[in-house]
Chains A and B, each alone.
Chain A
Amino acid sequence: MTAALEVRKLGVEFNGHKALDDVSVSVARGESFGLVGESGSGKSTLLRAVAGLAPVSAGTISIDGRELRRGKRNRAFYREVQMVFQDPYGSLHPRQTIDRALLEPLAIHGFDNTENRIVRALEEVGLGKGFRFRYPHQLSGGQRQRVAIARALVVEPSIVLLDEPTSALDASVQAEILNLLEQTRKDRKLTFVMVSHDLAVVSHMCERLAIMQGGHVVETLPASALADHKFEAAYTKKLFEASEGFQRKVHTEAPA
């Protein structure tokens, strides 16, 4: 079976700095794949390189077995692959209503019946018709992220790239958005690639994940391996321990 997304020996350079170096990742159709790492690990750069937002200097990216030739992406690609960004405050146009935000991708891709599609997309993400003509500043962070998800889903993509979709949200709102994402993936049989610094979130959402550090993939493992402590890389262990919270080291020397 061909992979929905295949990245081979990918390199990304910014002014001579190698943000990604020889990274290979393969995501099967319908799979949910996680990328975990700290800032500067290249996890977001990998996602952005797939979406065409970072300059690729080496390697190949294939969608459904079709390689992107010389990094060129046609309109079908942009319909097929959609992205949800971290900060819902920054990713929605402040002077445009929700209706316009959802209409624009539909117009670009020549969809008909836009009225119905917009209403349906809003309903799917748990926002009623009442939200349609509001502005982003009239919505809470969680509601804005729902709009961003609706905007990605409205053009019926098959692959959704999620860049820290819940890290700007409160813990209780995070649970709602994660549930919404899982439900839409099930309903629409979507392929997810999700970036997060939170190991617990990724292990909850994804079947497999890659641990990244310094532009390399350190380890790729199934999410179940985390629960069973079956990982090899020292860095994975460090991240795993950090996810459990603070651990007070017993002071060896006597207090002064």
Chain B
Amino acid sequence: MKPLLDIEDLRVTFPGRSGSIQAVRGVSLKLGRERLGIVGESGSGKSQTGRAIMGLTPPQATVTAKKMMFNDIDLLTASARQRRSLRGRQMAMILQDPKYSLNPVMTIGRQIIETLQTHESVSRAEARDRALAMLEAVQIREPKRVFDLHPHEVSGGMGQRAMIAMMLVAGPELLIADEPTSALDVTVQLEVLGILDRLVADRGMGLLFISHDLRLVSTFCDRVIVMYAGRIVEELASADLANAQHPYTQGLLNSLPRIGHDRHPLPVLDRKPEWAL
């Protein structure tokens, strides 16, 4: 079956004072209608990979690739106009913190309707109905009340659900979630993930889940890509995480404290310069 997303040798380069810096250095991945996780620490290039796919790379940076296909659309040659019509309609992105990524002066309902009306010509009444239905789908108990609230009036978990509702209302095929639950409390985190999981499965979407949390990603996704210094160091099925081959993945797993494992001191990651080559 043809993958939803097919990327070969993606590179994102930022100009720097002493020469250019490659944040992403040759990432290749294929994503079908599945849950794929990208794990890495800060500066590993995981977020820039997601942004390059969305077409949200900062203007001073350059994106190159041998191949970057989304369905039958070549993202490398697509015009800015074409990319705009893709975003929201066919691919969507959930960002980390609803406090900063929702518009503070617009009600939640209007923000959801805005997405919908950008991409479809729908009547006001229908847009409202679909927005309310979407709020219900993300398990917000009183959708009518929340519809008229501003982002500062809701909790973090509720804000993130509203964000998911906004991103899914136009029915995208690809969802990129960049640390979607890192700003939330652990128990709320699991509720939000549960909702996301349901919606992704029911709608048959492809999900790219970007996170620093190896444990969370491995329990949520089907496959995991581990990134280090702009490259993929390892790709494996979540179930095989315990048998990771690369010393970086192994080191990362070992350095996490675990309940019931008495390891003092904790093994620390011994970074080898050749990993970053």
From known contacts A38-B187, A239-B186, A242-B189, infer whether A172 and B41 are also in contact, taking CB-CB under 8 Å. yes
Most buried by A among B41, B201, B218, B268: B268
Residues of chain A within 8 A of B246, CB atoms compared: none
The reply to whether B219 and A245 contact each other, CB–CB distance below 8 Å, is yes
Q: Give A218 Cβ to nearest chain B Cβ, in Å.
A: 13
The reply to whether B259 and A175 contact each other, CB–CB distance below 8 Å, is no
Closest to B219 in A: A245
From known contacts A172-B41, A175-B266, A176-B268, infer whether A245 and B187 are also in contact, taking CB-CB under 8 Å. no
Is the CB of A2 closer than 8 A to any CB of chain B? no
Chain A at the B interface: SS class: helix
Instruction: Report the Cα distance A141→B43, complex, angstroms.
Output: 12
Is the CB of B264 closer than 8 A to any CB of chain A? yes
Instruction: Report the Cα distance A38→B258, complex, angstroms.
Output: 19
The reply to whether B214 and A175 contact each other, CB–CB distance below 8 Å, is no
State the interface size on chain A (CB cutoff 8 A).
39
Instruction: Report the Cα distance A174→B259, complex, angstroms.
Output: 16
Residues of chain A within 8 A of B256, CB atoms compared: 171, 175, 200
The reply to whether A227 and B260 contact each other, CB–CB distance below 8 Å, is yes
Which listed residue (A174, A179, A182, A197) contacts B186, Cβ 8 A? A197
Instruction: Report the Cα distance A90→B273, complex, angstroms.
Output: 30
The contact sample of 27 A-B pairs, CB cut-off 8 A, is A171-B212, A171-B252, A172-B268, A174-B255, A175-B255, A175-B266, A175-B269, A178-B265, A179-B266, A182-B264, A182-B265, A197-B186, A198-B257, A200-B256, A200-B257, A204-B258, A205-B257, A227-B259, A239-B187, A245-B219, A245-B220, A246-B194, A246-B197, A248-B197, A251-B198, A255-B202, A256-B202
**New contact pairs (17) apart from A203-B260, A245-B220, A246-B219, CB-CB < 8 Å:** A170-B41, A170-B212, A171-B212, A172-B251, A172-B255, A172-B269, A178-B265, A182-B265, A204-B257, A226-B260, A238-B187, A246-B190, A246-B194, A246-B197, A246-B220, A247-B190, A251-B198
